[in-house]
Amino acid sequence: MGGASSRCRSTPFDRRTAPSPPQLKAKPLKKIVSFLPILGWAPGYSKSAAVSDLMAALIVTVMLVPQSLAYAMLAGLPPQTGLYASILPLLAYALFGTSRALAVGPVAVVSLMTAAAVGQVAAAGTTDYLTAAMTLAFLSGLILLAMAVLRLGFLANFLSHPVISGFITASGLLIAVSQAKHLLGISAKGDTLPHMLIGLWRGLGDTNLPTLAMGLATTAFLLWARKRLKPLLLAHGLPPRTADLIAKAGPAAAILLSVLAVLAFGLVDRGVRIVGEIPAGLPPFAWPSLDFGLWQQLFLPAMLISLVGFVESVSVAQTLAAKRRQRIRPNQELTALGTANIAAALSGGYPVTGGFARSVVNFDAGAETPLAGAFTAIGILAATLFLTPLFRLLPQAVLAATIIVAVLSLVDLAAIRRTLVYSKADFAAMAVTIATVLGHGVETGITAGVALSLLLFLWRTTRPHMAVVGQVPGTEHFRNIDRHAVLTDPTILSLRMDESLYFANARALEDAIYDRVADQPALRHVILMCPAVNTIDASALESLESIAHNLAASGIGFHLSEVKGPVTDALKRSDFLQNFKGQIFLSHYAAVNALQAPDPTKV
Amino acid sequence: MGGASSRCRSTPFDRRTAPSPPQLKAKPLKKIVSFLPILGWAPGYSKSAAVSDLMAALIVTVMLVPQSLAYAMLAGLPPQTGLYASILPLLAYALFGTSRALAVGPVAVVSLMTAAAVGQVAAAGTTDYLTAAMTLAFLSGLILLAMAVLRLGFLANFLSHPVISGFITASGLLIAVSQAKHLLGISAKGDTLPHMLIGLWRGLGDTNLPTLAMGLATTAFLLWARKRLKPLLLAHGLPPRTADLIAKAGPAAAILLSVLAVLAFGLVDRGVRIVGEIPAGLPPFAWPSLDFGLWQQLFLPAMLISLVGFVESVSVAQTLAAKRRQRIRPNQELTALGTANIAAALSGGYPVTGGFARSVVNFDAGAETPLAGAFTAIGILAATLFLTPLFRLLPQAVLAATIIVAVLSLVDLAAIRRTLVYSKADFAAMAVTIATVLGHGVETGITAGVALSLLLFLWRTTRPHMAVVGQVPGTEHFRNIDRHAVLTDPTILSLRMDESLYFANARALEDAIYDRVADQPALRHVILMCPAVNTIDASALESLESIAHNLAASGIGFHLSEVKGPVTDALKRSDFLQNFKGQIFLSHYAAVNALQAPDPTKV
């Protein structure tokens, strides 16, 4: 791994991406480095790192060119938009990003979300549509930067793994089905799975056979190249890196071969739809729309795209960083992705984020610094300048095949099964996300998933687990009497509350105590064991007062044990402790010992 | 307390309102009694209970007649609507209710909510407005019954004390200000505090002085009657019950006196607005509208009215029941209130619920069974049949004064101060509720309050408290090293997670562990102490796996202690335990003991 890795003496728990060179240790400089991570690694950039980065960039470029064209088509945009979105944003990320392997650019899920969002405000193929897509990228960039400044990165935590996983699986399915029309060479509309399937069924009679043949052949070739080509090349004695490069060039090869086929067999005349003229040249500089009405319409989609893009990007970046014992800084990632999206908006692109497949490729190919991304940008720029005439004859079916093969890896059935076994609540959130994405589109789907997962969490806290506990013999430890062989005292009810006490569950505690008190006639003391009570809000405080009052009326003492520091602090601010007749014990063992002692019925 | 109370041998923890007579002990009969609580107490109804109930009914009737007229005016409805809403609903509650003291009927806050809801779908004073109010009662009744059947009473738990308290305080203020125009004798519109104040300011020039004089005089008289009359009468040697009855008759006396004044001084000609003709006779039977569009528009308001009415009613009923060591059954209360509202809808009324002031009066006057409510209904019926000619000349200003004096007791500034001191989050929810009710109306206000209190709860769980713990000397108990003098071992990090582990806080745990590990070079083991971890969801499970993996890569063991039963059950369903290299200890003490032992650096 050469120069760069030899500097990586930091543990995996070091929060810096790279140790700063000594001359940058001063405080203000540290701050600048934290904002511009490139200053951290650029001064020590070595020749061997440059070779690694260049090699990785070459492989990623070869992979990214067809993907950029394909994802732009998926987003309903002209193909060059995808290329534009793969140039400046990569440079922006190279400046601001903290991950050394993340490859940003157009990705499948965000392209689908872009199509859904922009399709609501403009007709596909119009200038308005293009402007709306750029505005969406701009808004998304602003939102990400605002999240960075306001340190709102934690918002991404609300997208739980099952929701994100279900969302990506469903999006993958939706994307694959949406591309089927291109494979068949028919026109079909629909944003949701049922509509798409109906559209496909109705259009089936118009299938263009040469298109279908080319589409199926490409799909088969890409699947083969992905699974079998690299082992085959290695078996024939090619060096691993070369084998990798050739295998990753599968989509590029498919493009070349298909263009040749279109030329050779005159397929355009036989009804095979092609991409058409793509303007060559530098990405255009363009202002996004400043129409406030449009901003309002696009705000929510931009928010969702930002969150989904951020979550996808950060989880890829973290996975890869962990493999090399590096850490990324999620907040700085917000800045980097925000800047990348603004760069996309200003250069004729559309929303971008870190892609899973290409980042893994970048990492495996040995990328050592974000400069690999900058080199990739130069590669894409070269393609934009010199290769666009080639893409004119590119069949749409080939791009569709590229997309289908790429997104099938997003469908993760194992994760669905694992979640089903582990937790009904998690599975419910996942299933609702999948069903809603397929039936109502991406935005409704992810919103429904997040809302449901939060509601299920809340719901669970309203029905708290409570356990009557007893002493584990020979220890000072108290556990559930239903699960462990423990010692109990008939005059003492030890109840452990397994939830924070707040307005939504305070009544449940009252009911539980009153029910158990009614069942235990010899009772003289109730001790509420609070190791799991992380907060007591004003409503629950009133419940505790009412419990204490009602138990006192029946001649039963009410005490608390193992009340944690922050809760004690809060109780001290109220007048609860002044009126509280019971005791508060440091440990439950101390409580039971103290309350047993004066009991004349015990020896 | 006579016959009824002598049967109340049950502890306060008995869930039945009254023990069933022996002949009803059979199961199916018990079920009927649980559904029709009247069957539980009616068979043993004694003469002395009847006398108590009749006396209470008399006082409540005298109090309820003016209130019914006034609250109907507050709801923008003809005065007789308030009387109608105080007859059949009371009978329905007497049949189905579990509280022996609750007095149902029109109440201030629900009247305000009715005005806000109905005002959005019909113009005040029209038949449509009246129909909408009845439909609202019908819908609210259906919702309450549905909640009873589906056992959704827990939904009321989501209205936290601070939100309800803030809501009622703000509603009281809003109601008082809304009545100021009647005191001034001017017309002014506005649903929110700013609009009302602007309307009052603009109309100030049109003030009708006789109206104002009568309004202020009535207000002063009512305040005096409330605070001073009873002590005065007692000082003059009247028996307490008579003194109470006379004092509670203040509003009724004000009505009588004001009608006489209107007659004597020809005040109608001097611009004093009066109530006008009220049709005498039985409440009309009427069907609510079955217009689906109207139902849709009224559904959310009906839901909010149901919840607020239920919460107010149940909290009053519980407070009063606790004083006599009785318990109410919230789910049966849903049935009773639902039936009462349907009865209101079918007899020309509008939404009703249990009122605080009148229930306390009912209780203090000695009501022993729900029959007191039935007697009250007969009293109101008599007033409807025979007294309506009297009310024709009743000045609106007098009703307004009745309302103002009644609602001022709703404003609870002490609760605001107490909440502010105790908890910022609770106070924020309360303050937002108050501000939104005043600025945007009751429905938005309560919705905002509930949403904010839930969000604040969620927010707190995303920033969990975590404590590094050490052994309290001489015990097996472990506490926060920052708060207690405890023993620690440099090779072991004991971290207590003070929150359930779920998607929104899993990352926080990862960060906390990695940060602390980086600070403690001698570390060999991390033990996560889980007494407060009530659940581990799929996202958090992945975080734990990732923590275990990363710590293992640095040669640090990762263990869990005090994992609770339900969490262990969940972990067993996943493959976590198969891959987990660490140990799971019953108690943290056992964990530290076991992991210290093989450490060669320790003696």
Task: Write the pLDDT tens digit of every residue in A343-373.
Answer: 999 999 999 999 888 888 888 878 888 889 9
Pick from B9, B157, B575 the residue to mutate for testing the A interface (most A CBs within 10 Å).
B157
Partner-chain residue, chosen from A419, A454, A465, that has the shortest CB–CB distance to B538 = A419
User: Among the listed ranges A144-148, B83-87, B155-159, B252-256, which one has the minimum average pLDDT value?
Assistant: B155-159
The shortest C-alpha distance from B374 to chain A (Å) reads 30
**B chain contacts of residue A523, beta-carbon cutoff 8 Å:** none
CA A431 to centroid of chain Cα atoms: 17
What are A273-287's pLDDT values in tens digits? 888 888 888 888 888
Partner-chain residue, chosen from A158, A477, A586, that has the shortest CB–CB distance to B589 = A477
Q: By the CB < 8 Å criterion, does B195 face chain A?
A: no
Alpha-carbon Rg of chain B, whole angstroms? 30
Contact A564 B467 (CB under 8 A): yes
Q: Which residue of B has its CA nearest to A549?
A: B322
Using the structure block, give the residue that is written with the tokens 């609750």.
B102
Contact B90, B53 (CB under 8 A): no
The shortest C-alpha distance from A119 to chain B (Å) reads 30
What is the pLDDT, as a whole number, of residue B381?
94
Contact B154 A541 (CB under 8 A): no
Q: By the CB < 8 Å criterion, does A554 face chain B?
A: yes
On the question of pLDDT at B161 being above 80, the answer is yes
Contact B566 A14 (CB under 8 A): no
Q: By the CB < 8 Å criterion, does B539 face chain A?
A: yes
Q: CA–CA separation, B510 vs B515, rounded Å?
A: 9
State the pLDDT confidence band at B603, using cuts at 50, 70 and 90.
very low
pLDDT (mean) for B427-438: 94
Which one is predicted more confidently, B143 or A311? B143
Q: By the CB < 8 Å criterion, does A151 face chain B?
A: no
Q: CA–CA separation, A209 vs B135, rounded Å?
A: 62
On the question of pLDDT at A12 being above 60, the answer is no
pLDDT (mean) for B191-198: 90
Contact A422 B506 (CB under 8 A): no
What is the pLDDT, as a whole number, of residue B597?
54
What is the pLDDT, as a whole number, of residue A347?
94
pLDDT (mean) for A382-393: 88
Q: By the CB < 8 Å criterion, does A31 face chain B?
A: no
Q: By the CB < 8 Å criterion, does B299 face chain A?
A: no
Domain ranges within chain B, ordered by starting residue: 30-273+281-387+398-429, 466-596
Which one is predicted more confidently, A4 or A599? A599
Pick from A463, A477, A482, A509 the residue to mutate for testing the B interface (most B CBs within 10 Å).
A477
> CA angle B516-B517-B519, nearest 5°?
65
Alpha-carbon Rg of chain A, whole angstroms? 30
What is the pLDDT, as a whole number, of residue B321?
78
What are A66-103's pLDDT values in tens digits? 889 999 999 999 999 999 999 999 999 999 998 888 99
On the question of pLDDT at B129 being above 60, the answer is yes
What is the pLDDT, as a whole number, of residue A597?
54
Which one is predicted more confidently, B4 or B559? B559
What are B76-106's pLDDT values in tens digits? 999 999 999 999 999 999 999 988 889 999 9
Contact A422 B159 (CB under 8 A): no
Contacts of B362 (CB under 8 A, 6+ apart): B56, B59, B60, B101, B102, B103, B372, B373, B376
**A chain contacts of residue B542, beta-carbon cutoff 8 Å:** 161
Helices (H) and strands (E) in chain A, counts: 28, 8
Contact B589 A476 (CB under 8 A): yes
pLDDT (mean) for A380-405: 89
pLDDT (mean) for A201-209: 91
**B chain contacts of residue A586, beta-carbon cutoff 8 Å:** 472, 475, 477, 479
User: Among the listed ranges A8-12, A474-478, B466-470, B508-512, which one has the minimum average pLDDT value?
Assistant: A8-12
Which one is predicted more confidently, A326 or A44? A44
On the question of pLDDT at B399 being above 50, the answer is yes
Contact A537 B465 (CB under 8 A): no
What is the pLDDT, as a whole number, of residue B22?
41
The DSSP secondary structure of A371-426, one letter per residue, reads HHHHHHHHHHHHHHHHTHHHHTT-BHHHHHHHHHHHHHTT--HHHHHHHHHH-HHH
What is the pLDDT, as a whole number, of residue A325?
65
**B chain contacts of residue A158, beta-carbon cutoff 8 Å:** 462, 503-504
Q: Give the rounded percent of residues in chain A with a pLDDT score beyond 90.
A: 37
On the question of pLDDT at B7 being above 60, the answer is no
On the question of pLDDT at B260 being above 50, the answer is yes
A contact residues 423-442, partner B, Cβ 8 Å cutoff: 423, 425-426
Query: Roughly how many angstroms between the first and final C-alpha of chain B, as a whole number?
Result: 73
Q: Which residue of B has its CA nearest to A512?
A: B13
The DSSP secondary structure of A265-282, one letter per residue, reads HTGGGGT--B------SS
Phi then psi for residue B403, to 5 deg, are -65, -50
Using the structure block, give the residue that is written with the tokens 């839930």.
B454
Q: Give the rounded percent of residues in chain A with a pLDDT score beyond 70.
A: 93
Helix, strand, or coil (residue B545) = helix
Enumerate the β-bridge partners of residue A480.
A469
What are A505-546's pLDDT values in tens digits? 888 888 888 888 877 788 899 999 999 898 898 889 988 988
Contact A587 B475 (CB under 8 A): yes
Which one is predicted more confidently, A485 or A242? A485
Q: How many residues does chain A have?
A: 603
Q: Which residue of B has its CA nearest to A471?
A: B587
Contact B268, B393 (CB under 8 A): yes
Q: CA–CA separation, A15 vs A17, rounded Å?
A: 6
What are A452-466's pLDDT values in tens digits? 998 898 888 888 889
Q: By the CB < 8 Å criterion, does B302 face chain A?
A: no
Q: CA–CA separation, B542 vs B552, rounded Å?
A: 15
State the pLDDT confidence band at B27, using cuts at 50, 70 and 90.
low
On the question of pLDDT at B153 being above 70, the answer is yes
State the pLDDT confidence band at A13, using cuts at 50, 70 and 90.
very low
On the question of pLDDT at B373 being above 80, the answer is yes
Q: By the CB < 8 Å criterion, does B35 face chain A?
A: no
The DSSP secondary structure of A43-83, one letter per residue, reads GG--HHHHHHHHHHHHHHHHHHHHHHHHHHHHTTS-HHHHH
Using the structure block, give the residue that is written with the tokens 């060999």.
B524
Supply the mean pLDDT for chain B. 86
pLDDT (mean) for B124-136: 92
Give CATH for domain B466-596. 3.30.750.24
Supply the mean pLDDT for chain A. 86
State the DSSP code for B526. Answer: E
What is the pLDDT, as a whole number, of residue A24?
41
State how far the alpha carbon of A548 is from the alpha carbons of A557, A573, A579, B329, B456, in Å.
8, 18, 10, 21, 27
Contact A531 B532 (CB under 8 A): yes
What is the pLDDT, as a whole number, of residue A5?
37
Q: By the CB < 8 Å criterion, does A476 face chain B?
A: yes
The shortest C-alpha distance from A533 to chain B (Å) reads 7
CA A402 to centroid of chain Cα atoms: 23
What is the pLDDT, as a whole number, of residue B1?
35
Contact A571, A577 (CB under 8 A): yes
Partner-chain residue, chosen from B162, B327, B477, that has the shortest CB–CB distance to A586 = B477
Q: Name the residue among B240, B217, B236 with its Cα closest to residue B59.
A: B240
State how far the alpha carbon of A360 is from the alpha carbons of A107, A243, A315, A357, in Å.
14, 16, 12, 5
pLDDT (mean) for A266-271: 86
Q: CA–CA separation, B222 vs A23, rounded Å?
A: 81
State the pLDDT confidence band at B47, using cuts at 50, 70 and 90.
confident
Phi then psi for residue B522, to 5 deg, are -75, 0
User: Among the listed ranges A36-40, A329-333, A504-508, B526-530, which one has the minimum average pLDDT value?
Assistant: A36-40
Pick from A161, A328, A427, A554 the residue to mutate for testing the B interface (most B CBs within 10 Å).
A161
CB pairs under 8 A between A and B: 233
What is the pLDDT, as a whole number, of residue B598?
54
On the question of pLDDT at A483 being above 80, the answer is yes
What is the pLDDT, as a whole number, of residue B40?
75
State the pLDDT confidence band at A436, using cuts at 50, 70 and 90.
very high
What is the pLDDT, as a whole number, of residue B317?
86
What are B164-190's pLDDT values in tens digits? 889 989 999 998 998 999 999 888 877
The shortest C-alpha distance from B255 to chain A (Å) reads 39
State the pLDDT confidence band at A28, using cuts at 50, 70 and 90.
low
On the question of pLDDT at A59 being above 50, the answer is yes
Using the structure block, give the residue that is written with the tokens 């803030």.
B166
State the pLDDT confidence band at B28, using cuts at 50, 70 and 90.
low
Q: How many other β-carbons are positioned within 10 Å of the β-carbon of residue A159? A: 26
Token pair of B462 as six digits: 């995303």
Contact A160 B460 (CB under 8 A): no
- In terms of pTM, does the model score above 0.90? no
State the pLDDT confidence band at B601, using cuts at 50, 70 and 90.
very low
What is the pLDDT, as a whole number, of residue A346?
94
**A chain contacts of residue B163, beta-carbon cutoff 8 Å:** 503
Contact B589 A12 (CB under 8 A): no
Pairing of strands B353-354, B104-105: antiparallel
On the question of pLDDT at A114 being above 60, the answer is yes
**A chain contacts of residue B533, beta-carbon cutoff 8 Å:** 532
What is the pLDDT, as a whole number, of residue A16?
36
Contact A476 B472 (CB under 8 A): no
Q: Name the residue among B536, B550, B476, B469 with its Cα closest to residue B506.
A: B536
The shortest C-alpha distance from A544 to chain B (Å) reads 13
Q: Which residue of B has its CA nearest to A498?
A: B534
Pairing of strands A104-105, A525-529: unpaired
Q: By the CB < 8 Å criterion, does B315 face chain A?
A: no
Pick from B165, B421, B493, B539 the residue to mutate for testing the A interface (most A CBs within 10 Å).
B539
State how far the alpha carbon of A216 is from the alpha carbons of A181, A213, A402, A465, B167, in Å.
12, 5, 11, 55, 64
H or E element: which one contains B214? helix B209-224
What is the pLDDT, as a whole number, of residue A93?
94
Q: By the CB < 8 Å criterion, does A541 face chain B?
A: yes
What are B309-330's pLDDT values in tens digits? 998 898 888 778 767 767 778 8
